[in-house]
Structure 1
Amino acid sequence: MTKAKIHPREKERLVLLDSYSILDTLPEKDYDNLTQLAAEICQTPISLITLLDDKRQWFKSHYGLETSETPIEDAFCAHAITSDEPIFTTEDAREDSRFQNNPLVTGDPNIVFYAGIPLKNANGLPLGTLCVIDNKPRNLTQSQKESLNILSEQVINLLELRKNKLELERAHKKLKKFSKKLERKVFQRTNQLEIKTIKLELMINDLESFNHICSHDLQEPLRKIQMFISQISDTEFNNLSEAGKHKLERIDLSAGRMRNLIQDLMAYGATESIDNSLTTVSLKNLVLDVKDILSEELKEHKTLLRVQKDCPITVRPVQFKQLLFNLFTNAIKFSKNEIKPTIKVHGSVVNGTDYPELNLNEDRQYSRILISDNGIGFDQKYENKVFEIFQRLHSDEEYQGTGIGLAIVKRIVTTHSGQIRVESSLGNGAVFDIFIPLAD
């Protein structure tokens, strides 16, 4: 018996084989159909799709043979992948010096006839073979050889399709992760932009830099995401599984939401009018949007966030989602140790006359939003201080922060001609009580 030569590009070949992630995978009907067809065309009892790593030949499909792999030193296919012949054939292995005393010849499956076509990628590197085997001498007709070659090309097509699908799935996961990360950054950047806006209003009321950040820093990565989505949709959409198509569509929807958010931010920074962007929306829908953005943080801290009752509100959605974002992240940050944070949102429609202590317009209805948590709370005497810019009740060693989050919440409520108050006590969480005028 003669040991097969090592392929001259063996290291490169093994790296290529690994990139298909196919070794030791479960049987698949598409491959089994090809081996069955090969056996029927060539009139042989056995047909195999083999893949060779550095120690074995593994059968992706084995028609007429029970075993799923053999040592590479016994493999006929190891000779086939290094041969210069388009189809490697031995008519009677018992009389072939290369295979005399080979355990696959002297023992089960008693190979006598073998014909194998190397499965090569576009660069000519062989991954394995499509082969047919018989336990008696025989020859293949020219028609059988041509048919076997066509079937080997179909095996390569299946392998390439599998590889492309895996690469697309990995790309989809990266895009989805990047999209979610970018969406969170949009809200974080929005917070930073609100801080910048407050400072600019205190100084020169100049919002040009606000517009520049929105138009450039946020839109540029969004354009790249949408370009990748468009490329995948144009070239690979039909090759995706239904789950893959759904994921791609979800990424596209997320990118659309980000685009709308950026446009809303630019409109807000470009005008001082407080009337042109007000719209009546569902409080629950805004909460769910923010909940989706904070999904990782909520999961990490095992936070329960639920809307107990919905109500309509007349707001600028981008600003009000920032308000919710700040209150929810505050509730998570100032939660008690070893106690799962719980955030409850309750909406209702009330009359201005019902709350004379707040000096509300008696001729209007208001959306009343209660946002409560079970966190560490604070002394009620600090009610006004918590809404002041740069004011903090805790040191950096206890809780990190800038002392601006609730100042932004207060400012957003004020720009909506609303009122906000808070009730709290040490160790008993906090309840933020917000009143926003409801459009007629």
Structure 2
Amino acid sequence: MIKAKIHDKEKERLALLNLYSILDTPAEKDYDNLTKLAAEICQAPISLITLLDDKRQWFKSHHGIDVSETPIEHSFCAHAIIGDEEIFTMDDARDDARFLDNPLVTGNPNIVFYAGIPLKNATGIPLGTLCVMDRKPRILTDSQKESLKILSEQVINLLELRTNKLELEKTHKKLKKFSKKLEKKVFQRTNQLEIKTIKLELMINDLASFYHICSHDLQEPLRKIQMFISQISETEYDNLSVHGKHKLERIDLSAARMRNLIQDLLTYGYNENLENSMMNVSLNKMVDDVKDVLSQELKESNTVLKVLSDCMITVRPIQFKQLLFNLFTNAIKFTKNKEFPSIEVNGEIIEGAAYPNLNLSVETKYTRIVVADNGIGFEQKYATKVFEIFQRLHSNEEYQGTGIGLAIAKRIVLTHRGRISVESSPGNGATFEIFIPLAE
């Protein structure tokens, strides 16, 4: 057995691998789906997503074997990453001096055939491989090699998406920490309403450019994943088993969920930020505009949506229609079994002094808007949690969603210097109460 040489840029390679923060992380379905699909396409019993540090090869996903890592000196993948070949293949390892007495060849899992594609980042530095293996001699077809290459590019895209997500979370934590410090300082000189206003304006201004940058960095690799899925569907779909087709469809669904999450994140960070965009409009007009957008959903779900009492509101129309859209779609989504959704909207003009417990300005008139539905409801103890970003009360299997819709609704209300709350109980729907300052 001959141990592989150390990569020419080993220090840089190990530093890059550490930057991805992927080693020793739990199994993830998106990676497991790729190894299963690779095994299906290549008709190989074993497939791996391997990442190499200085002492071992660790498997982010392993299909066909139970171990999660092996010593690097036994690694086929260590040989694969040091060459210039696009794909490193070994038709029969027993005939090669580098591997003939390798424990992985002479013992379990008795590897004979190996084909691995290095997983390289944009600078061409390899982190590991996507590989398939068999216990008998094999030769891959050109079509199988091309498919394996496409899948390896999807692995890199998943790693890049993971890095972008970690950076997004890290930045969000920093902003949250900074906002808490600011709130403590300002509290000594102003009232609670002013604190919320300053905190909101700071976050909106800082996040506007941040979300714009992330929109490209997150969506570009996602578009590539969807393009590769489309290519596999066109060239290899008929060659897949029913199980393989199912896995490919699951990957496509995962990409769609990621796209929806990114779009919701961008909506969450978006703000018109123009004082002169505020308008006095009819609540009924806003509801009618949203009903036009949701006409198909309302028809398919047999939803009854009506405005019981109309009034004027002072809002940014685009934002406020987004708020109503999120409340209405939630009401349609979270419907009790065998019941048709019902949504009732009420509006009235009130004096801030009439609600002394809500910290409203006593000298200001407000539009009070109530949106009530007959959905499944939830326990009142979650009334604050539902407005937090990424907070969900149900699994994706029960109800699809990203956990951002009500966070967007709250942000829109806050940009209007208003307030929003909800009353609910299991089985009795939810009633949202919104207060928006009314301009003369």
* TM-score, scaled relative to structure 2: 0.49
Q: Larger Cα Rg: Structure 1 or Structure 2?
A: 1
* TM-score, scaled relative to structure 1: 0.49
